[in-house]
């Protein structure tokens, strides 16, 4: 059961809270990946009284909400005469949350230990960097890996490649129609409505939704902004599309990988390669069922390649490693990882036909770069998806 499964970072967070470090703990990641479950596991384990509160309300929540929860924790501390853990969930929904947290954290005169949870990366990171520098430790909770889904639910690799790995969807694994409805209604709509449209100014919400739908249709494909303009109604201009794509990225939905160019990692203006952060976002909104997807080698190749990109994005989030792609003429490399002087080109093979000329051309251009084939004659897909991407470098 997902409720019984402990993600790897839970124990480390418990130790940090028990140690009474002079920084508070932050859990940051997408919706429906077990942040709240982890918080409750932490509350059960650390052995001190806890106060839990969630700001995930349909109505706007102001900074007085944080003050209310802090006062609750203070009262519990006075009653129990022991350190208290205060857990603030979905804190990005609180207007001015970082200033309020800073005021109470800096002014505390009692042993209140703080755990903050958030789903919208942009709002969490902005609050942390603008007001709370040096006061926090970030623990990233990415989408569930295949290793986690295999350990918690016994999923095969193909099941994970199709289902994507939201732990809450396990109960619908044997009922595809209900699984698709769950992904569409309970996840996709919730994230777009709550983490994007309610928290950031979006002048064309319909365009935002259509852009997400376009990405779902073209997973792991390079799509120019001009081509997107031709596919979308009332699309405005390329600047608007690029901005909306970055907003979808901060909600852990879609990233537009940029073209690799040594010495210019962020190659702005290049055609983005669209990667969904979780394969459930593709298959949950598709009319194709599992057997049909598995029987289509071209589409299955896209599914595998997107999962590889998602594995890299989830595993390398917060680390000083860029994830890009490379193309020159007809030669293309699926993914390029770069950090410092180290560059690694990856070619993803899923059984579909294709040559590795992209790697050869890339090594010709960048002779000091390393190259790996994933799948087929190279590193087995099973091993790749069980490996922390940082270890590939």
> Inter-axis angle of helices 121-131 and 238-250, to 10 degrees?
80
Phi, psi of 177 (to 5 degrees): -60, -45
pLDDT of residue 162: 97
In tens digits, what is the pLDDT along the chain, a chain of 393 residues?
444 789 989 999 999 999 999 999 999 999 889 999 999 999 999 999 999 999 988 787 899 999 999 999 999 999 999 999 999 999 988 888 999 999 999 999 999 999 999 886 656 766 777 778 889 999 999 999 999 999 999 999 999 999 998 998 999 999 999 999 999 988 888 888 877 776 677 888 888 899 999 999 999 999 999 999 888 877 778 898 999 999 899 889 999 999 998 765 445 568 999 999 999 999 999 999 999 999 999 999 999 999 999 999 999 998 999 999 999 999 999 999 999 889 999 999 986 555 567 999 999 999 999 999 999 889 999 999 999 999 998
Contact 181, 202 (CB under 8 A): no
Predicted TM-score (pTM) of this structure: 0.91
**Domains, the chain, with CATH or none:** 2-140 (3.40.50.300), 146-392 (no CATH)
State the DSSP H helix or E strand holding residue 210, giving kind and residue range, or none if neither.
helix 205-217
One DSSP character per residue, 275-327 reads: EESSTHHHHTS-S--HHHHHH-HHHHHHHHHHHHHHHHHHHHTTSS-EEEEEE
């Amino acid at each position: 059961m997902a409720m019984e499964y402990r993600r790897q970072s839970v124990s480390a967070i418990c130790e940090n809270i028990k140690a009474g470090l002079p920084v508070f703990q932050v859990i940051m990641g997408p919706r429906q990946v077990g942040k709240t479950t982890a918080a409750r596991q932490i509350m059960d384990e650390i052995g001190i009284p806890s106060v839990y509160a969630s700001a995930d309300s349909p109505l706007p929540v102001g900074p007085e909400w944080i003050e209310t929860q802090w006062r609750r924790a203070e009262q519990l501390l006075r009653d129990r005469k022991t350190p208290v853990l205060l857990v603030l969930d979905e804190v990005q929904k609180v207007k001015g949350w970082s200033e309020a947290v800073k005021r109470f954290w800096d002014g505390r005169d009692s042993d209140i230990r703080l755990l903050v949870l958030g789903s919208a990366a942009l709002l969490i990171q902005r609050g942390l960097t603008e007001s709370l520098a040096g006061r926090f430790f970030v623990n990233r909770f990415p989408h569930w890996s295949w290793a986690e889904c295999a350990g918690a639910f016994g999923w095969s690799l193909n099941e994970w490649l199709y289902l994507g790995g939201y732990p809450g969807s396990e109960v619908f694994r044997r009922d595809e129609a209900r699984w698709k409805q769950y992904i569409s209604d309970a996840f996709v709509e919730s994230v777009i409505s709550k983490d994007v449209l309610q928290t950031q100014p979006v002048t064309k919400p319909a365009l935002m939704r259509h852009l997400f739908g376009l990405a779902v249709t073209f997973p792991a494909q390079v799509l120019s902004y001009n081509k997107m303009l031709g596919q979308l109604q009332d699309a405005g201009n390329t600047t608007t599309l690029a901005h909306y794509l970055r907003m979808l990225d901060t909600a852990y939905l879609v990233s537009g990988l940029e073209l690799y160019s040594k010495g210019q990692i962020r190659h702005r203006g290049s055609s983005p390669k669209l990667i969904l952060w979780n394969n459930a976002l593709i298959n949950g909104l598709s009319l194709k069922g599992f057997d049909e997807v598995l029987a289509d080698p071209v589409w299955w190749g896209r599914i595998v390649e997107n999962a590889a990109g998602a594995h890299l994005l989830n595993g390398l989030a917060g680390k000083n490693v860029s994830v890009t792609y490379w193309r020159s003429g007809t030669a293309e490399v699926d993914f390029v990882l770069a950090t410092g002087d180290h560059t690694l080109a990856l070619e993803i093979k899923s059984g579909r036909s294709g040559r590795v000329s992209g790697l050869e051309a890339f090594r010709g251009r960048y002779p000091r770069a390393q190259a790996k084939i994933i799948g087929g004659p190279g590193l087995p897909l099973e091993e790749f998806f069980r490996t922390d991407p940082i270890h590939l470098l």
